């Protein structure tokens, strides 16, 4: 089934609405139908044979040939529609593959690229699930996984040059929760000097697809937890991988068919409907966050506000200006008074909710040291800048003045709780 319409060259906000869905294939419906069938009827036994030859990779499609659908573990119309419509949001992408979570996308991609004995260099801190995937699955399988500290460009270059059998470079930028940035272009240039060239993959969940575009910087693959900004409403789990190399597309898609971790039709349909507003939502969230972060910076209860427009390291400022359009909607506050202060802050917030995850319409606040990063060793927390007083905020689309007032009143409680009590 071909869902393409000729709108290549349009801007992302146009193309996301005009590419990849043909209403004629959904009885004229302006929005796609949901195709919940698990299996598809063949036009002929010859068509079935051809479809299996294509999906197994035994033969390559003729130019313009669109493989017939077979069975929904391999592919289904709502995945095709979603995958076509998401492509224009990521400049330089030629294809995308939808998964039933961000972790499924990351795992499937790494297992499509790495064999036992192969190496991957990865930035730390890393999303906790990805870190566990490395320690609990990849390393026991015999893959060599080498951490490098996010933002340390020279150290990253050195690791890329000196790691034998290097097949992948995994970059998560900005790093969670302190927003430390890694120079994608520099790492990609260093990787490009190797033969064979390792696959440079970027987890773009925090600033993409609106504010950070890894392909023009030299990345080979872009990965998302679509559970976050792409989904945008904290009501579904999904993941996406985008790329341009036909070989990587085949390899990752083949693994997805094997594992069965394709995103289900209903979730594809929901996520597809969220794509046209991702840039609107992220813009509002980023503006809110910037106003809040810059208003809180001199509060006496706060040791440091971590936010891209408040960076003080010249190298971090340079990376931000060269690779991000806007600062995004994640803030971390390091409170004087450690864990008691952070917990008091969480108890006192009234509009924001105490929850992990991010990217939704509603503002969420968490204490990384005891939740998202509780699996990290003391050393890992130190490298990541995760102190006991740190709270992470995912700013939503509420009015920023109400959120600021909420955080200020919570900080006043923190100050009172910390004051020495009169004897
Ligand atoms: C949430 C997240 C993931 C994992 O995604 P799931 O959809 O929860 O599986 C991976 N990377 C980053 C940066 C995330 O924030």
Based on the fold, state whether residues 88 and 166 are members of the same structural domain: yes
Q: Is 61 exposed, middle or buried (0-12, 13-18, 19+ CB in 10 A)?
A: exposed
Q: Is the pLDDT of residue 115 over 70?
A: yes
User: What's the pLDDT at 168?
Assistant: 98
Q: Which ligand 1 atom minimizes the distance to the CA of 206? A: 13
Instruction: State pLDDT tens for residues 258-270.
Output: 999 999 999 999 9
User: Is 2 within the bounds of a domain?
Assistant: no
Based on the fold, state whether residues 358 and 381 are members of the same structural domain: yes
| Cβ atoms of residues 72 and 265 within 8 Å | yes
Confidence of residue 8 (pLDDT cuts 50, 70, 90): low
Query: Which CATH number belongs to the domain containing residue 355 in this structure?
Result: 3.90.1150.10
Higher pLDDT, 423 or 203: 203
Based on the fold, state whether residues 295 and 416 are members of the same structural domain: yes
Q: Is 129 exposed, middle or buried (0-12, 13-18, 19+ CB in 10 A)?
A: middle
Based on the fold, state whether residues 99 and 175 are members of the same structural domain: yes
Residue 237 near ligand 1, beta carbon < 6 Å: yes
Give residue 230's domain range: 12-277
What proportion of the chain, given as a percentage, has pLDDT over 70?
97
Residues with Cβ within 8 Å of 361's Cβ and at least 6 positions away in sequence, in order, are: 232, 233, 234, 281, 396, 397
DSSP state of 381: H
* Cα–Cα distance, 361 to 232 (Å, whole number): 6
Bond prior to 196 in cis (omega within 30° of 0): yes
Least confident of 86-100, 154-168, 309-323, 407-421: 407-421
222 C-beta neighbours (distance < 10 Å), count: 27
User: Is 232 within the bounds of a domain?
Assistant: yes
Q: Is the pLDDT of residue 9 over 80?
A: no
Helix locations, 238-277, DSSP H? 246-259, 265-274
417 C-beta neighbours (distance < 10 Å), count: 16
**Mean pLDDT calculated for residue range 228-250:** 97
User: Is 5 within the bounds of a domain?
Assistant: no
Shortest-distance Cα residue to atom 7 of ligand 1:
102
| Cβ atoms of residues 387 and 276 within 8 Å | no
Q: Which helix (H) or strand (E) holds 107?
A: helix 102-113
**Mean pLDDT calculated for residue range 95-103:** 98
The pair of three-digit structure tokens given for residue 115, joined into one six-digit string: 């064999």
Instruction: State pLDDT tens for residues 306-364.
Output: 999 999 999 999 999 999 999 999 999 999 999 999 999 999 999 999 999 999 999 99
What pTM does this model have? 0.95
Confidence of residue 44 (pLDDT cuts 50, 70, 90): very high
Mutate-to-test residue for ligand 1 from 123, 226, 228, 357, highest number of ligand atoms within 8 A of CB: 228
Q: Is the pLDDT of residue 19 over 90?
A: no
Q: How many domains does the chain have?
A: 2
Q: Is 355 exposed, middle or buried (0-12, 13-18, 19+ CB in 10 A)?
A: middle
Q: Work out whether strand 353-354 and strand 221-225 pair parallel, antiparallel, or are unpaired.
A: unpaired
Helix locations, 275-392, DSSP H? 278-296, 314-323, 338-348, 378-384
User: Is 7 within the bounds of a domain?
Assistant: no
Nearest-Å Rg of the Cα atoms of the chain is 23
Least confident of 87-96, 119-128, 154-163, 409-418: 409-418
What's the mean per-residue pLDDT of the chain?
A: 94
Quote the ligand 1 centre to 241 CA distance (angstroms). Answer: 12
Helix locations, 299-367, DSSP H? 314-323, 338-348
Based on the fold, state whether residues 171 and 144 are members of the same structural domain: yes
User: What's the pLDDT at 421?
Assistant: 61
Q: Work out whether strand 330-335 and strand 390-394 pair parallel, antiparallel, or are unpaired.
A: antiparallel
Q: Is the pLDDT of residue 210 over 80?
A: yes
User: Is 3 within the bounds of a domain?
Assistant: no
**Mean pLDDT calculated for residue range 12-21:** 87
Quote the ligand 1 centre to 407 CA distance (angstroms). Answer: 26
| Cβ atoms of residues 34 and 265 within 8 Å | yes
């Amino acid at each position: 089934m071909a869902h393409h319409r000729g709108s290549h060259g349009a801007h992302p906000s146009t193309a996301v609405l005009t590419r990849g869905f043909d209403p004629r294939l959904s009885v004229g419906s302006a929005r796609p139908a949901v195709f919940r069938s698990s299996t598809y009827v063949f036009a002929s036994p010859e068509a079935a044979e051809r479809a299996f030859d294509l999906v197994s990779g035994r033969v390559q499609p003729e130019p313009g040939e669109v493989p017939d659908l077979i069975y929904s573990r391999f592919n289904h119309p709502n995945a095709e529609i979603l995958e076509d419509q998401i492509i224009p949001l990521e400049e330089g992408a030629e294809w995308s593959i939808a998964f039933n979570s961000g972790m499924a996308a990351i795992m499937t991609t790494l297992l499509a690229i790495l064999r036992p004995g192969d190496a991957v260099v990865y930035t730390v801190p890393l999303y906790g699930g990805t870190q566990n995937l490395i320690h609990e699955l990849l390393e026991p399988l015999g893959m060599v996984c080498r951490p490098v500290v996010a933002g340390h460009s020279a150290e990253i270059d050195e690791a890329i040059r000196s790691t034998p059998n290097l097949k992948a470079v995994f970059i998560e930028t900005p790093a969670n929760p302190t927003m430390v940035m890694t120079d994608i272009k520099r790492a990609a240039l260093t990787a490009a000097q190797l033969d064979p060239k390792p696959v440079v993959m970027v987890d773009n969940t925090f600033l993409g697809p609106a504010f950070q575009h890894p392909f023009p910087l030299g990345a080979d693959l872009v990965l998302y937890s679509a559970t976050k900004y792409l989904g945008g409403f904290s009501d579904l789990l999904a993941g996406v991988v985008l790329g341009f190399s036909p070989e990587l597309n085949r390899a990752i898609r083949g693994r997805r068919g094997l594992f069965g971790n394709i995103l289900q039709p209903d979730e594809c349909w929901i996520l597809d409907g969220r794509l046209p507003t991702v840039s609107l939502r992220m813009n509002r969230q980023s503006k809110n966050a910037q106003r809040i972060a810059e208003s809180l910076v001199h509060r006496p209860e706060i040791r440091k506000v971590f936010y891209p427009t408040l960076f003080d390291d010249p190298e971090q400022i340079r990376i931000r200006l060269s690779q991000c359009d806007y600062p995004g909607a994640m803030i971390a506050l390091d409170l004087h008074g450690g864990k008691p202060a952070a917990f008091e802050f969480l108890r006192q917030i009234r509009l924001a909710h105490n929850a992990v995850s991010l990217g939704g319409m509603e503002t969420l606040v968490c204490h990384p040291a005891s939740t998202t990063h509780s699996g990290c060793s003391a050393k890992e927390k130190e490298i990541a800048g995760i102190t006991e007083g740190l709270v992470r905020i995912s700013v939503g689309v509420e009015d920023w003045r109400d959120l600021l007032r909420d955080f200020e009143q919570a900080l006043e409680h923190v100050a009172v709780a910390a004051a020495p009590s009169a004897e």
